[in-house]
Amino acid sequence: MEHRSLGSLSVSVVGVGCNNFGARLDQGGASAVVDAALEAGVNFFDTADIYGATQSEVFLGVALGARRPEVVVATKFGMPIDDTHFGATPAYVRAACEDSLRRLRTDYIDLYQLHYPDDTVPIAETLGALAELVAAGKVREIGCSNFTAEQLREAKVAAGDGPSFVSVQNQFSLLDRSPERDGVLAACDELGLGFLPFYPLANGLLTGKVRPGEDPPAGTRLAAMPKERSAHWLSDEMKGRVAALLAYADSVDTSLLDVAFSWLLSHQEVASVIAGASTPEQIRANATAVREFAPGQLEELARLTA
Centroid of chain to Cα 120: 25
DSSP 152: H
What is the per-residue DSSP string for 22-74? Answer: TTTB-HHHHHHHHHHHHHTT--EEE--TTGGGGHHHHHHHHHHGGGGGGSEEE
CA dist 127 to 5, 122, 239, Å? 21, 9, 42
The closest of 173, 121, 167, 162 to 146, measured between CA atoms, is: 167
**Catalytically annotated residue among 51, 92, 199, 248:** 51
Rounded CA-CA distance 10/84 in Å is: 35
Rounded CA-CA distance 84/243 in Å is: 45
Let me know if 51 is a catalytic residue: yes
Which residues are known to be catalytic? Answer: 51
